[in-house]
Structure 1
């Protein structure tokens, strides 16, 4: 029985080393895309490794996954206007939905029998749904359990209150063998303000940002354009509106733009934008979703985005000038990241509290974007070393480092 296994690796009876990812997705794309990038790098480091991603993302099936990486779609949840959650499609109340998801997560852990669990951002999972699986993996399986944190979570006071409410500090101390921060300490400490023990902080490792590569499949557009991307799009309508207003106000504004709305922009809002785009005579081209964003970024002269984690990594990886229009609600994550990056000379920020989010400011930013300095002109040691670190450390945990000759 799987419950009786107490050791890791092939000695536990696994035919191959296994890594399980928990991707905290109730809304947006960020957690899934980050987990997919990590799974791709780890499995590429040794062809004996297999990985599964547990995700609640409703668009998980629209992404291609590499060999030896698969995903399990958990029943989705959606956030109501009042901040409460509900089942996305099942008609269950949120407690029933959470209990169902928790059971599926634990069952997947028991049957997949991973050597490593990598949890994205939330130590206890959505509404504590990860705890049963953590208990089993810690006490019965004795797998390596890793907490993965993006470079910025939120402002310290808000984050401290949130983690206290969720019991996240207690869970982090109790269950996690290591914490990997997908950024640099010199840029930001995402745990600032959290009352974590010295022992836990000694287990925190700053990896660097997660480098992205040009895709082998698909085509790179051969034309002059800038890329406009509000990420998943669920909270990007105001940025899109500002960009379209800039092209409407100035008929001479260039370069032309390719706009990717994101899959979570409402259909009603998109229809309104499409009416405006049609009047721009091809100066702005649009699409709803593109799972090969790397190709669009590669061909772009520059990027206008809200500055979510994944887009930030892509902008750095492909060395593209970027104008960041960060959101400030419901959390300051993008705002903090954008301003630290601007201080280092990596990006330009349009700040609603500084110059204001005006049409004139956006026109000037777009016009200057192709001539803006590239991120590589601001040398930051170790900036994009994240995937190398994660791959090497995973091989160490799996007992495969010597076989691969990793230094």
Structure 2
């Protein structure tokens, strides 16, 4: 079965990482699955696709400081880049001829670039799934976005299923977002989509000092969080070691400044990128992070005590997620952190034990595969059945 996964990726790594996790789950569970991930992420090559998965890169679009979409690297007008992306998407759909189309986050794509593909999918009886993260934005912002005619039409008539990669205890889209009544029966909460937990390496002796991991996802807007952490360390020599993941999209000037401050402090290891964040989390005694979807899911999976520094703009997604998780006692949100308040919160986190993970649904990828199986019915063959045939 051929599956096309669309991931617009105008900002950071989150959508691509989630799409790759879903793609891997599909090819691991379905013997006939062949997955094509079409993404605009500038980091499309940072994740090696597993057998059965391939990636097509669209020209990247990002947001400026005001949250306005602009071409990331091409010296061209935004409308021209969107037209190019639209043409590439249409050709990928035509040539790959998928039996299932999975759309991440954007109902009609970036700048409505997916409208033609959705119409072609309906004409050719291609099954469709819209995947939404646990929190999209404030209810007011989502209402404005979904009130656009193309989005409203597609939400009502273009998708067979709507998978929410979260759980309603944290945030219930059916109550907090303006989902049309006829769409609600097609909604299914999968739980968090997160990579399988790592196999920890056996250590002959426990470390003599505690360890803190600092991670800001792709890093595009993580510089202020990292520098605030450095300022917290500089208040007084810490009795723990630090490992900082800058992210591949962090501004080079900020990266140089952080590396220089780390050398002055000592006990601080700085890396641009690590693909094994779940293992690093499991080996850390506390974590300081922003509140993006994937990072938060991996933190909850690890049970590592966490201090979250959520992005406040242009979307309110991270702030809402951090505050809701804080109310559930799962993390410590610190939306307006200073060096002093961060230092205090971190010392509190280091004194806490690891949190049991049983209260958080972390099987989103497996449950998504079940939705696909139910939707596609007899057209797919599970791996186990294929092996025994």
What is the TM-score of this pair, normalised by structure 2?
0.91
Q: 1:261 aligns with which of 233, 237, 246?
A: 246
Q: Is the 8 A contact 1:180 1:206 kept in 2?
A: yes
1:368 maps onto 2:348 in alignment? yes
Counterparts of 1:89 and 1:235 in 2: how far apart (Å)? 17
In structure 1, C-alpha distance between the alignment counterparts of 2:64 and 2:342, rounded to whole Å: 32
What per-residue deviation string (whole Å, max 9, x for no partner) do you get for residues 255-299 of structure 1? 211000111111111112222111012x21101112222222222
The answer (yes or no) to whether the contact 1:212–1:313 under 8 Å persists in 2 is: no
2:93 is equivalent to residue 115 of structure 1 = no
Counterpart of 2:373? 395
1:184 aligned residue: 167
1:396: Cα distance to partner? 2.4
CA deviation string 1:131-182 (max 9, x = no partner): 111111111x211111100000111012211222473222211211111001
Cα distance, 1:373 vs. partner?
4.2
Gaps of 5+ in 2: none
Query: What does residue range 3-402 of structure 1 map to in structure 2 within 5 Å?
Result: 17-139=1-123, 141-165=124-148, 167-190=150-173, 192-215=175-198, 223=207, 224-251=210-237, 253-281=238-266, 283-352=267-336, 357-376=337-356, 380=359, 383-399=361-377
1:7-47 CA-partner distances (Å, limit 9, x unpaired):
xxxxxxxxxx1111101201200000000011111111122
Counterpart Cα distance in 2 of 1:108 and 1:178: 22
| Partner Cα distance (1:271, 1:135) in 2 | 48
Displacement of 1:195? 3.3
**Inter-partner Cα distance in structure 1 for 2:262 and 2:116:** 49
Distance 1:225 1:212 in 2: 23
Shift of 1:402: 7.7
TM-score normalised by structure 1 residue count = 0.87
Distance 1:215 1:398 in 2: 31
Instruction: Check whether the contact 1:324–1:338 (CA below 8 A) recurs between aligned residues.
Output: yes
Change (3 A) 1:273 1:191: farther
CA distance in 1, matches of 2:136, 2:175: 10
SS in structure 2 opposite 1:89?
Answer: coil
Shift of the 55–80 alpha-carbon distance from structure 1 to 2, 3 Å rule, reads: same
Change (3 A) 1:362 1:89: closer
Structure 2 counterpart SS, 1:279: helix
* Change in 2 beyond 3 A, CA 1:384/1:217: closer
Q: Is contact 1:345–1:375 with CA below 8 Å preserved after alignment?
A: no
Deviations 1:68-114 (A, max 9, x none): 11110001123334543333333221111111111111111111111
Count, aligned residues: 381
Give 1:209 deviation, angstroms. 0.9
Partner Cα separation in structure 1 for residue 66 and residue 222 of structure 2: 19
Tell me how far apart the structure 2 counterparts of residues 152 and 369 of structure 1 sit (CA, whole Å): 25
Q: 3-state SS of the aligned residue for 1:67?
A: coil
C-alpha separation in 2, matches of 1:213 and 1:254: 32
Query: What's the counterpart of residue 4 of structure 1?
Result: none
Take 1:65 and 1:403, find their aligned partners in 2: how far apart are those partners? Answer: 20
Comparing 52-61 with 223-232, which one deviates more in the overlay? 223-232
Decide whether aligned partners of structure 1 residues 85 and 166 sit closer, same or farther in structure 2, where only a CA change above 3 A counts.
Answer: farther
* Partners of 1:169 and 1:195 within 8 A in 2: no
Question: Structure 1 residues 25-34 or 223-232, which shifts more?
Answer: 223-232
Instruction: Check whether the contact 2:105–2:132 (CA below 8 A) recurs between aligned residues.
Output: yes
